[in-house]
Amino acid sequence: MVYAGKTKSGAAHIGVSGRLRDRNLVMWDEETNSLWSQLSGKAIYGKRKGEALALTPSVFVGLGTWVKIAPQGKVLALSNVRVKPWHYRRQDLAKGEIRMGGALALGLRAKGDTLGIPLRLLQKKGAVEVEVGGRRALVLWHRGEMAPLAYERPEGMHLQLKGDKLVAGTGEAFDPLTGRPLGKAGSRPSRGLARFPYLPVLLKAWKSWYPKGRILGQKD
Protein backbone atom coordinates (compact mmCIF):
# COMPACT_ATOMS: atom_id res chain seq x y z
CA MET A 1 0.00 0.00 0.00
CA VAL A 2 1.09 3.58 -0.52
CA TYR A 3 0.62 6.40 1.97
CA ALA A 4 1.36 10.09 1.67
CA GLY A 5 4.60 10.71 3.57
CA LYS A 6 3.24 13.66 5.52
CA THR A 7 0.37 14.76 7.69
CA LYS A 8 -1.05 18.14 8.62
CA SER A 9 1.77 18.52 11.16
CA GLY A 10 4.54 17.92 8.66
CA ALA A 11 6.76 15.29 7.09
CA ALA A 12 6.78 11.70 8.25
CA HIS A 13 9.69 9.49 7.24
CA ILE A 14 8.56 6.02 8.13
CA GLY A 15 10.51 2.95 9.14
CA VAL A 16 9.86 -0.53 10.53
CA SER A 17 9.57 -0.40 14.34
CA GLY A 18 10.19 -4.08 15.01
CA ARG A 19 6.85 -4.14 16.84
CA LEU A 20 3.70 -6.10 16.18
CA ARG A 21 0.18 -5.25 17.17
CA ASP A 22 -2.62 -7.74 16.53
CA ARG A 23 -0.25 -9.49 14.11
CA ASN A 24 0.09 -6.31 12.05
CA LEU A 25 3.21 -4.29 11.37
CA VAL A 26 3.78 -1.21 13.48
CA MET A 27 5.72 1.61 11.82
CA TRP A 28 7.56 4.58 13.38
CA ASP A 29 8.43 8.05 12.17
CA GLU A 30 11.88 9.53 12.36
CA GLU A 31 10.60 13.03 13.16
CA THR A 32 8.83 12.29 16.46
CA ASN A 33 9.41 8.56 17.16
CA SER A 34 5.63 8.05 17.15
CA LEU A 35 4.22 4.62 16.32
CA TRP A 36 1.83 4.05 13.41
CA SER A 37 -0.43 1.21 12.36
CA GLN A 38 0.54 -0.05 8.91
CA LEU A 39 -2.99 -1.20 8.27
CA SER A 40 -4.86 1.96 9.14
CA GLY A 41 -2.12 4.53 8.55
CA LYS A 42 -2.95 6.11 11.93
CA ALA A 43 -0.50 7.11 14.64
CA ILE A 44 -1.28 5.01 17.71
CA TYR A 45 1.37 6.23 20.14
CA GLY A 46 3.50 9.29 20.73
CA LYS A 47 3.39 12.94 19.86
CA ARG A 48 1.45 12.40 16.65
CA LYS A 49 -1.15 10.01 18.07
CA GLY A 50 -4.43 10.47 16.22
CA GLU A 51 -2.86 11.78 13.02
CA ALA A 52 -3.26 9.74 9.86
CA LEU A 53 -1.27 9.15 6.70
CA ALA A 54 -3.56 9.40 3.67
CA LEU A 55 -3.87 6.30 1.51
CA THR A 56 -2.93 7.31 -2.02
CA PRO A 57 -3.70 5.71 -5.39
CA SER A 58 -1.42 3.02 -6.71
CA VAL A 59 -1.66 0.00 -8.96
CA PHE A 60 -1.04 -3.64 -8.08
CA VAL A 61 -0.13 -5.34 -11.33
CA GLY A 62 2.42 -7.59 -12.99
CA LEU A 63 5.66 -5.98 -14.16
CA GLY A 64 4.64 -6.63 -17.77
CA THR A 65 1.47 -4.62 -17.22
CA TRP A 66 3.40 -1.92 -15.41
CA VAL A 67 5.62 -1.42 -18.47
CA LYS A 68 2.49 -0.86 -20.57
CA ILE A 69 0.98 1.56 -18.06
CA ALA A 70 4.19 3.56 -17.55
CA PRO A 71 6.65 2.90 -20.39
CA GLN A 72 9.08 5.53 -19.08
CA GLY A 73 8.82 4.36 -15.49
CA LYS A 74 11.46 2.92 -13.22
CA VAL A 75 11.61 -0.05 -10.90
CA LEU A 76 13.10 -0.60 -7.46
CA ALA A 77 16.41 -2.47 -7.80
CA LEU A 78 16.88 -4.33 -4.54
CA SER A 79 17.72 -8.02 -4.32
CA ASN A 80 14.79 -10.35 -3.88
CA VAL A 81 14.02 -11.32 -0.34
CA ARG A 82 11.71 -14.15 -1.22
CA VAL A 83 12.89 -16.51 -3.88
CA LYS A 84 9.97 -18.94 -3.75
CA PRO A 85 7.07 -16.54 -3.86
CA TRP A 86 4.45 -18.73 -5.49
CA HIS A 87 1.82 -16.21 -4.67
CA TYR A 88 3.65 -13.12 -5.85
CA ARG A 89 2.81 -13.51 -9.50
CA ARG A 90 -0.17 -12.16 -11.38
CA GLN A 91 -1.37 -15.68 -12.17
CA ASP A 92 -2.12 -16.01 -8.47
CA LEU A 93 -4.36 -12.99 -8.68
CA ALA A 94 -6.11 -14.60 -11.65
CA LYS A 95 -6.90 -17.65 -9.51
CA GLY A 96 -8.63 -15.38 -7.02
CA GLU A 97 -7.11 -17.22 -4.10
CA ILE A 98 -3.80 -18.38 -2.77
CA ARG A 99 -2.87 -21.71 -1.31
CA MET A 100 -3.32 -21.78 2.47
CA GLY A 101 -4.41 -18.14 2.51
CA GLY A 102 -7.78 -18.53 0.86
CA ALA A 103 -9.77 -16.03 -1.18
CA LEU A 104 -8.27 -12.74 -2.28
CA ALA A 105 -10.05 -9.42 -2.22
CA LEU A 106 -9.55 -5.77 -2.96
CA GLY A 107 -10.03 -3.50 0.02
CA LEU A 108 -11.35 0.01 -0.48
CA ARG A 109 -11.72 2.58 2.26
CA ALA A 110 -12.55 6.24 2.50
CA LYS A 111 -13.72 8.50 5.31
CA GLY A 112 -14.20 5.66 7.76
CA ASP A 113 -16.17 3.52 5.33
CA THR A 114 -14.79 0.25 3.97
CA LEU A 115 -15.71 -2.18 1.23
CA GLY A 116 -14.15 -5.56 0.46
CA ILE A 117 -14.53 -6.86 -3.07
CA PRO A 118 -13.84 -10.60 -3.46
CA LEU A 119 -11.55 -10.97 -6.46
CA ARG A 120 -13.50 -13.90 -7.87
CA LEU A 121 -16.69 -11.86 -7.83
CA LEU A 122 -14.91 -9.02 -9.61
CA GLN A 123 -13.52 -11.40 -12.21
CA LYS A 124 -17.00 -12.77 -12.82
CA LYS A 125 -18.57 -9.34 -13.21
CA GLY A 126 -15.68 -7.71 -15.07
CA ALA A 127 -16.39 -4.31 -13.53
CA VAL A 128 -18.43 -2.94 -10.64
CA GLU A 129 -19.51 0.56 -9.72
CA VAL A 130 -19.28 1.14 -5.99
CA GLU A 131 -19.40 3.95 -3.46
CA VAL A 132 -17.14 4.15 -0.41
CA GLY A 133 -17.28 6.99 2.08
CA GLY A 134 -19.22 9.07 -0.40
CA ARG A 135 -16.64 8.53 -3.15
CA ARG A 136 -17.73 6.81 -6.33
CA ALA A 137 -15.41 4.27 -7.91
CA LEU A 138 -15.29 1.88 -10.80
CA VAL A 139 -13.35 -1.28 -9.99
CA LEU A 140 -12.49 -3.61 -12.82
CA TRP A 141 -10.68 -6.82 -13.60
CA HIS A 142 -8.50 -6.62 -16.70
CA ARG A 143 -8.67 -10.16 -17.97
CA GLY A 144 -5.83 -9.90 -20.49
CA GLU A 145 -3.41 -8.40 -17.99
CA MET A 146 -4.73 -10.34 -14.99
CA ALA A 147 -4.92 -7.07 -13.11
CA PRO A 148 -7.39 -5.32 -10.79
CA LEU A 149 -7.74 -1.59 -11.43
CA ALA A 150 -9.84 1.12 -9.82
CA TYR A 151 -10.84 4.62 -10.89
CA GLU A 152 -12.73 7.52 -9.40
CA ARG A 153 -16.08 7.79 -11.15
CA PRO A 154 -17.27 11.34 -11.77
CA GLU A 155 -20.81 12.05 -10.63
CA GLY A 156 -23.36 11.01 -13.21
CA MET A 157 -20.85 9.01 -15.21
CA HIS A 158 -21.48 5.31 -15.67
CA LEU A 159 -18.75 3.19 -17.15
CA GLN A 160 -18.85 -0.23 -18.72
CA LEU A 161 -16.14 -2.55 -19.95
CA LYS A 162 -16.72 -3.14 -23.63
CA GLY A 163 -14.02 -5.25 -25.19
CA ASP A 164 -10.76 -3.50 -24.51
CA LYS A 165 -12.33 -0.15 -23.68
CA LEU A 166 -14.09 1.50 -20.80
CA VAL A 167 -17.10 3.21 -22.28
CA ALA A 168 -19.20 5.91 -20.63
CA GLY A 169 -22.90 6.40 -21.24
CA THR A 170 -22.02 9.42 -23.35
CA GLY A 171 -20.02 7.25 -25.71
CA GLU A 172 -16.75 8.54 -24.38
CA ALA A 173 -14.11 5.79 -24.20
CA PHE A 174 -11.12 5.30 -21.91
CA ASP A 175 -8.13 3.00 -21.85
CA PRO A 176 -8.81 0.62 -18.93
CA LEU A 177 -5.10 0.30 -18.12
CA THR A 178 -4.25 3.98 -17.94
CA GLY A 179 -7.62 5.73 -17.63
CA ARG A 180 -6.64 7.95 -20.55
CA PRO A 181 -9.41 9.12 -22.87
CA LEU A 182 -9.59 7.42 -26.23
CA GLY A 183 -11.94 10.08 -27.53
CA LYS A 184 -15.15 9.91 -29.46
CA ALA A 185 -15.55 10.77 -33.13
CA GLY A 186 -16.08 14.50 -33.53
CA SER A 187 -15.60 15.32 -29.86
CA ARG A 188 -12.93 17.14 -27.89
CA PRO A 189 -10.75 14.86 -25.79
CA SER A 190 -11.78 14.86 -22.15
CA ARG A 191 -9.74 14.43 -19.02
CA GLY A 192 -8.57 10.99 -18.02
CA LEU A 193 -9.91 9.00 -15.10
CA ALA A 194 -8.20 9.43 -11.73
CA ARG A 195 -7.14 6.30 -9.93
CA PHE A 196 -8.89 5.18 -6.77
CA PRO A 197 -6.75 3.68 -3.97
CA TYR A 198 -7.19 -0.01 -3.25
CA LEU A 199 -5.41 -2.69 -1.26
CA PRO A 200 -4.90 -6.30 -2.34
CA VAL A 201 -5.71 -8.40 0.72
CA LEU A 202 -6.76 -11.80 1.94
CA LEU A 203 -10.52 -11.70 2.27
CA LYS A 204 -10.48 -13.31 5.71
CA ALA A 205 -7.88 -10.81 6.91
CA TRP A 206 -9.94 -7.89 5.62
CA LYS A 207 -13.01 -9.25 7.41
CA SER A 208 -11.10 -9.57 10.66
CA TRP A 209 -9.75 -6.02 10.39
CA TYR A 210 -13.13 -4.56 9.53
CA PRO A 211 -15.70 -6.93 11.06
CA LYS A 212 -18.48 -4.40 10.54
CA GLY A 213 -17.36 -3.44 7.04
CA ARG A 214 -19.28 -4.25 3.88
CA ILE A 215 -18.30 -7.11 1.57
CA LEU A 216 -19.57 -6.84 -1.98
CA GLY A 217 -21.97 -9.65 -2.81
CA GLN A 218 -22.59 -10.52 0.82
CA LYS A 219 -25.49 -9.39 2.96
CA ASP A 220 -24.80 -7.33 6.08
Partner 1 sequence: MLPIAAALLAALPLSPFQESRPASQPGGQAQSRPSAPSKKAGKPLRADWGPDAPGRQVVPVKFKPMRKVPYWTNKEALRHLSPDDLVIGIIRGDQAIAYPIKMLGGPQREIVNQEIRNEPYVVNW
Among 50, 76, 144, 188, binds partner 1 (CB under 8 A): 76
Say whether residue 9 binds partner 1 (CB under 8 A).
no
Dihedral over Cα of 183, 189, 191, 192: its sign: positive
Q: Are 197 and 55 in contact (CB under 8 A)?
A: yes
Closest to 164 in 3D by CA, of 146, 153, 176 = 176
Kindly state the number of chain residues that form the binding site for partner 1, as judged by CB under 8 A. Answer: 80
C-alpha to C-alpha distance for 60 and 150, rounded to whole angstroms = 10
- For partner 1, the binding residue among 8, 50, 63, 144 (CB under 8 A) is 63
> Is residue 69 close enough to count as binding partner 1 by CB under 8 A?
yes
99-118: which residues touch partner 1 (CB under 8 A)? 100-102, 104, 107
CB of 214 to partner 1, least distance (A): 18
98 binds partner 1 (CB under 8 A): yes
Give the one residue of 32, 40, 52, 58 binding partner 1; rule: CB under 8 A: 58
Among 9, 47, 70, 133, binds partner 1 (CB under 8 A): 70
From the CB of 93, what's the least distance to partner 1, in Å? Answer: 7
- Which residues partner with 160 through β-bridges? 167
On the CB side of 28, CA atoms within 13 Å amount to: 10
- How crowded is residue 183: how many other Cβ atoms within 10 Å of its Cβ? 13
Residues 6+ apart with CB under 8 A from 149: 59, 61, 139, 140, 141, 142, 176, 177, 195
Subset of residues 168 to 207 that bind partner 1, contact rule: CB under 8 A? 195, 199-202, 205-206
